[in-house]
Amino acid sequence: MEQPAGYLEWPTRFPVWRTVAFLAGVAVTLGLVWAWIAVRTSPLERVYFPAYVRSTVKVSIPKLPRRKDLRPVIDPVHLFVMSAGRFATPTTFRSPVSVVRIHRSDARFVALLKSAVFGGRGAFSVIRWPLIAGGLVTLVFFVFGTRRDINLRRQAAVGVHRRGTRIVSGEEFNRRVGA
């Protein structure tokens, strides 16, 4: 559709408040997840949680075909916490603890952690509640940021000067500052 002659379209501004709201919501969500893991999980779950999430994500993403000669496939190394010579579970976790490196495939490692350490819970069900709370906080922040951006855009459309300097003549500048 063609605009009428003399039509001036106001330039749109970057949605600063929406971006800040989204980033603040993500930061709050990460803080909630960190606090939840620090307070609501056992020490053994805290040790294994990063590896559990990493391995779960790695197992759930399908492998892309690649050339065989680029890089040899090596089984990843995982750390196991051993207590009294056996794999440590929340019930057998004792004070003399050692960390042992063994080679494991990711699928078997995830299955082992899910059954022995996390009590059958998936990686994301462990942090379900802080993710839900963080999502709601992000949504509320985003709504307020959107309202603020819309308000600023309306003010700019009617000519309200919001930031930056205005280019004025020297005479007008002296008149404004009273010199």
Residue-wise DSSP of 121-166: --HHHHTHHHHHHHHHHHHHHHHHHHHHHHHHHHHHHTT---SSPP
The domain locations on the chain are: 16-61+75-158
Please write the tens of the pLDDT for every residue from 6-59.
555 555 678 899 999 999 999 999 999 999 999 998 888 888 888 888 888 887
pLDDT of res. 117: 83
pLDDT of res. 75: 47
Please write the tens of the pLDDT for every residue from 123-173.
889 999 999 999 999 999 999 999 998 888 887 767 666 666 666 667 777
* Position 65 pLDDT exceeds 50: yes
pTM: 0.63
pLDDT of res. 143: 96
